[in-house]
């Protein structure tokens, strides 16, 4: 992929499968590395100068929203945003998603959108004439998170092939693991251990994709069973906001906790990742352990999002 080819292939960012080509991944990684190096020297390109980008979030966000907005500003662009768009925009008056997207098209050069409904980003992209970037659509996908996750694996371990990874926690509703699974389908020699309560197992549609791709996986409730087998612990929060029945949440909250006892059982060169925010599933007592990569992971998100914005709008 070069120059105009990038833009032709990457107008919208809707799902992780768009990045299944290794060549595309490596280009994004290379550009993210370049952005990080230039940021350290205070010499970031102003490739978004004159561009306005809507930061339109129906749901709360810290890392995704702020890293995108910081990336836009650092590259010379301007941000048009609202907090909790479902309340503080005409959405609260009953405006449809398609009408909202048509209106935003009148004002900005791109839209970064988080929505509470699965499939909303695809609907928005079908309406929008300007690029739409999916910043999370309900329990669907979070493609830019998957990109920063696999970029973190590359940086921390030095490869994205021949790995074993445990995905732990809320696999049913967790859009970050859904998107990461799609990217792992294109990797070689990968084995995945899905560790969750029975009620929060990985949905069948994602397991089918792994079977079709020939990726090995196992499902278990027992975290201790896999600790010494994996290179990566990818821990997720059990998401209270996704449960319609509070009693069901109470049954599974705090199901897993990664702590100092866990560290004694994992490989010395394993890494611990988490898309954050965390609640009780990772004890802060392990934050200073070199294997705890989750804050470095969050930092990587800034440069991956810079790279995407530069490719799409630069």
Q: Which residues are catalytic?
A: 63-64, 93, 114, 142
Distance of CA 93 to the CA centre of its chain: 30
Q: Measure the CA–CA gap between 267 and 226, rounded to whole angstroms.
A: 11
- Quote the tokens at residue 194: 């899905």
Laid out side by side, the sheet with 132-137 consists of: 78-82, 52-57, 110-115, 132-137
Please name which of 4, 301, 14 lies closest in space to residue 131, comparing C-alpha atoms: 14
């Amino acid at each position: 992929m070069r120059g105009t080819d990038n833009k032709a292939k990457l107008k919208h960012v809707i799902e992780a499968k768009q990045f299944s080509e290794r060549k595309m991944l490596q280009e994004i990684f290379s550009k993210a590395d370049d952005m990080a190096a230039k940021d350290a020297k205070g010499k970031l390109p102003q490739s978004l100068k004159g561009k306005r980008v809507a930061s339109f979030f129906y749901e709360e966000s810290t890392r995704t929203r702020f890293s995108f907005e910081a990336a836009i500003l650092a590259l010379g662009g301007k941000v048009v945003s609202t907090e909790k768009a479902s309340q503080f925009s005409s959405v609260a008056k009953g405006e449809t998603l398609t009408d909202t997207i048509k209106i935003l098209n009148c004002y900005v050069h791109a839209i970064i959108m988080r929505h509470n409904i699965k499939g909303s980003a695809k609907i928005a992209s079908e309406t929008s004439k300007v690029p739409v970037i999916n910043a999370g659509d309900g329990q669907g996908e979070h493609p830019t998170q998957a990109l920063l996750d696999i970029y973190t694996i590359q940086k921390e371990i030095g490869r994205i092939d021949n790995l074993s990874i445990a995905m732990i926690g809320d696999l049913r509703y967790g859009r970050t693991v859904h998107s990461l699974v799609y990217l792992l389908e294109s990797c070689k020699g990968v084995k995945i251990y899905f560790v969750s309560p029975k009620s929060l197992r990985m949905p069948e549609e994602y397991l089918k994709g792994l079977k079709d791709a020939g990726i090995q996986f196992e499902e278990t409730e027992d975290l201790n069973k896999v600790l010494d087998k994996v290179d990566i612990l990818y821990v997720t929060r059990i998401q209270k906001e996704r449960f319609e029945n509070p009693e069901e949440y109470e049954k599974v909250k705090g199901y897993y906790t990664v702590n100092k006892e866990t560290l004694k059982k994992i490989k010395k060169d394993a890494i611990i990742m988490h898309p954050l925010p965390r609640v009780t599933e990772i004890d802060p007592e392990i934050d200073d352990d070199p294997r705890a990569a989750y804050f470095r992971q969050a930092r990587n998100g800034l440069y991956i999002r810079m790279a995407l914005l530069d490719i799409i709008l630069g």
